[in-house]
């Protein structure tokens, strides 16, 4: 047991060595730096006032090692965290395949995912899941329910459902399966301008982008708006695959610089089996949520494709990370390089500035307001300020936007509730907040100033 933590760290070292293709002979002297760590591990294991979980000690040591780097992108992930991270990267998870939320103490299905097990089993929007097997979901938060509804592929989720219009509960069996998550969306505007939104860059994003680009070209697309707003990034190889569909062969996509200052240049090789933009005009949409691989694409458009960028300055993440998978299923993710734009600029912590700066309405950047809480007269909070901004944007004057819920704000809430056929309580929670959010999302979609500016640049 005395060498467990040393062996765990050695696993990390050996993994890194194997990945680099180098071989070293380790001697006892190279381990001496871990004697202090071993001593504390042994002492706590034997002398702490209560029995200790030795796995937690090792996890804590590795977690502390990564935090000592003072790099938010270098982290240790235990087995559960590694599994969740893998789901994000693969853009899939195992579960029943339904979007859920908590409403008034009930877990409600917002929408089954098309073709997923929940839809095949006959689950419908507004179904309330009250039990999973013998476990009651009443009063449970949606985040807790998600953990229970996910599981191993092929396992059964025995659900008890309350359905509007039905007197008795319904028993539904759903077989869990892999649920793919779409990362690319597209539509063709009336003037022939295509819009492709990339929400993140995962293992399937390149293939998804190729399909959407092919579909838009078949419909006679005359120009492309590439929407990279709120794209937190992802996998470098997928960003390169997408870039090769957008840039002429030979053009630089990005450069990667290692710790010794050596630079590797990534050039477009041509789209190959994938479709190409074929010289159609392009514009990119960016904002403060565009980061990492999203910024790689934005930089390539701006500097190598001659495309304009519209919106707001990007986040500014100019580092690349690599993964070490440890034997027990845990993971170390650490920064191993910088990436540079085609012109050689390191955008870390500075971001990429748009060619045409256009801001979104105030309500588009509001912090999240939970529908699980109730906000009423005499409340004072940041969330109340957000509610007041939302009311004003929807045409209901709250009288103020400073976070104090006064009588004028309550009257504005009542007017909104009456207009939407809701009970006019003057308090904001649950259905009222969901309706406000829904209407604002639709309003922004219909009147998106950044998209409008991008389309204007492409209009003939």
- Catalytic site positions: 292, 303, 317
Q: Cα(297)–Cα(341) distance, rounded to whole angstroms?
A: 9
CA nearest neighbour of 132 among 114, 145, 121, 123: 145
Q: Kindly state the DSSP code that residue 113 receives in the 8-state scheme.
A: P
Beta strands 223-227 and 282-286: pairing type?
parallel
Q: Under a CB-based contact definition with an 8 Å cutoff, are residues 320 and 291 in contact? A: no
Angle at which helices 205-218 and 236-246 cross, to 10°: 20
User: Residue 5: beta bridge partners?
Assistant: none
Please give the distance of CA 225 from its chain centroid, rounded to a whole number: 21
CA nearest neighbour of 5 among 51, 36, 38: 38
Q: Cα(243)–Cα(458) distance, rounded to whole angstroms?
A: 20
Count of other CB atoms within 10 angstroms of residue 367: 8
CA atoms within 13 A on the CB side of 364: 18
Using DSSP, state whether 87 is helix, strand or coil.
Answer: helix
């Amino acid at each position: 047991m005395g060498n467990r933590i040393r062996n765990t760290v050695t696993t990390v070292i050996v993994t890194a060595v194997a990945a680099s293709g180098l071989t070293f002979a380790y001697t006892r002297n190279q381990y001496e730096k871990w004697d202090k760590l071993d001593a504390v591990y042994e002492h706590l294991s034997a002398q702490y006032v209560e029995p200790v979980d030795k796995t937690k000690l090792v996890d804590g040591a590795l977690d502390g090692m990564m935090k000592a780097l003072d790099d938010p992108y270098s982290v240790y992930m235990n087995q559960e965290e590694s599994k969740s991270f893998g789901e994000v990267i693969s853009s899939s998870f195992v579960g029943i395949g339904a979007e859920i939320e908590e409403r008034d103490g009930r877990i409600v299905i917002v929408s089954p995912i098309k073709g997923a097990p929940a839809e095949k089993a006959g689950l419908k929007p507004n179904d309330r899941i009250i039990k999973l097997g013998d476990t009651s979901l009443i009063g449970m938060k949606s985040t807790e329910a998600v953990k229970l509804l996910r599981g191993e592929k092929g396992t059964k989720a025995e659900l008890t459902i309350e359905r509007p219009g039905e007197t008795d509960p319904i028993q539904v069996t759903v077989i869990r399966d892999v649920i793919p998550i779409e990362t690319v969306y597209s539509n063709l505007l009336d003037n022939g301008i295509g819009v492709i939104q990339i929400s993140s860059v995962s293992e399937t994003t390149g293939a998804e982008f190729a399909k959407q680009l092919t579909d838009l070209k078949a419909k006679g697309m005359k120009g492309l708006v590439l929407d990279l707003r709120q794209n937190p990034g992802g996998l470098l190889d997928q960003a390169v695959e997408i870039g090769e569909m957008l840039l002429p062969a030979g053009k630089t996509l990005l450069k990667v610089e290692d710790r010794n200052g050596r630079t590797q240049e990534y050039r477009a090789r041509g789209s190959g089996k994938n479709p190409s933009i074929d010289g159609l005009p392009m514009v990119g949409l960016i904002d403060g949520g565009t980061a990492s691989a999203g910024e790689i694409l934005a930089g390539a458009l701006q500097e190598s494709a001659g495309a304009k960028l519209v919106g707001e300055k990007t986040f500014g993440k100019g580092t690349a990370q690599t993964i070490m998978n440890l034997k027990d299923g845990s993971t170390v993710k650490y920064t191993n390089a910088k990436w540079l734009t085609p012109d050689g600029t390191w955008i870390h912590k500075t971001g990429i500035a748009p060619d045409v700066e256009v801001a979104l309405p105030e309500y588009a950047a509001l912090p999240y307001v939970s529908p699980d809480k109730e906000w009423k007269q005499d409340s004072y909070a940041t969330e109340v300020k957000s509610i007041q901004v939302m009311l004003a944007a929807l045409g209901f004057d709250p009288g103020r936007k400073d976070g104090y819920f006064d009588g004028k704000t309550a009257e504005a809430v009542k007017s909104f509730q009456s207009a939407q056929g809701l009970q006019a309580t003057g308090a904001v929670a649950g259905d009222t907040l969901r309706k406000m959010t829904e209407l604002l999302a639709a309003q922004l979609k219909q009147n998106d100033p950044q998209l409008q500016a991008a389309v204007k640049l492409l209009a003939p």
